[in-house]
Amino acid sequence: MKKLLLLFMLATLMSLTSTAQSQQVFVECTAGEFSGEISWEIVTCNGGILLEGGAPFLGAVMLPTYYQIVMHDNYGDGWNGAYLYIDQAEFGFLSDVDWIDSLGTWPQNHTDTLIDVGCLTIGLEEVVDVDFAPTTYFDVLGREVIPNKTGVYIASDGVIRKKVYIIKE
């Protein structure tokens, strides 16, 4: 009986820890100069939130193979030296051009960006759900756009994000 219980516990432990499609990684968001303006989410390809936070932040998440990062800046001028680190990867939001803002010449309208990490490689779906009415579209580089030509876009209704193919004639 003890051996059977031990085997059952071992099998349960292995099934919980040997998820081939996800791994636990550390996540850090540095403060930068205006940390109160910063927020972010790591989401699944269909928009489910895996982890969210602000700056500064230090934590961990079970990360699937494919995911998306949504980065926000309330003021609209980028993260001003703050970076999001997921495992060994570094993500910034207009951080390479923050110096332009100090001159007052950078437009203050960059409040959101979307970074795709593999979701666009797993197939396309049409927006046919009755409950899904997209209000925002992003191009494959994560920039908010108005879909004015045929192509692949990320559509969002504010809650769910879907990869879509839009045909413009």
Total structural domains in the chain?
Answer: 1
Q: What is the end-to-end Cα distance of the chain in Å, rounded?
A: 69
Residue position matching structure tokens 């680190």: 85
Read off the pTM: 0.59
Distance CA 147, CA 151 (A): 8
- The whole domain housing 132 covers 21-166
DSSP-derived 3-state class of residue 36: helix
User: What is the tens place of the pLDDT at every residue in 17-48?
Assistant: 333 468 999 999 999 888 999 999 999 887 88
Asked whether residue 15 is domain-assigned, the answer is no
Q: Which of the residue ranges 85-94, 106-115, 140-149, 158-167 would you say has the lowest mean pLDDT?
A: 106-115
Asked whether residue 50 is domain-assigned, the answer is yes
Asked whether residue 75 is domain-assigned, the answer is yes
Asked whether residue 124 is domain-assigned, the answer is yes
DSSP-derived secondary structure letter, 21: T
Catalogue the E-assigned strands of the chain. 22-29, 38-43, 49-54, 57-64, 67-73, 84-86, 89-91, 112-117, 136-138, 144-145, 151-156, 161-166
Asked whether residue 116 is domain-assigned, the answer is yes
Asked whether residue 90 is domain-assigned, the answer is yes
Distance CA 47, CA 45 (A): 6
Asked whether residue 84 is domain-assigned, the answer is yes
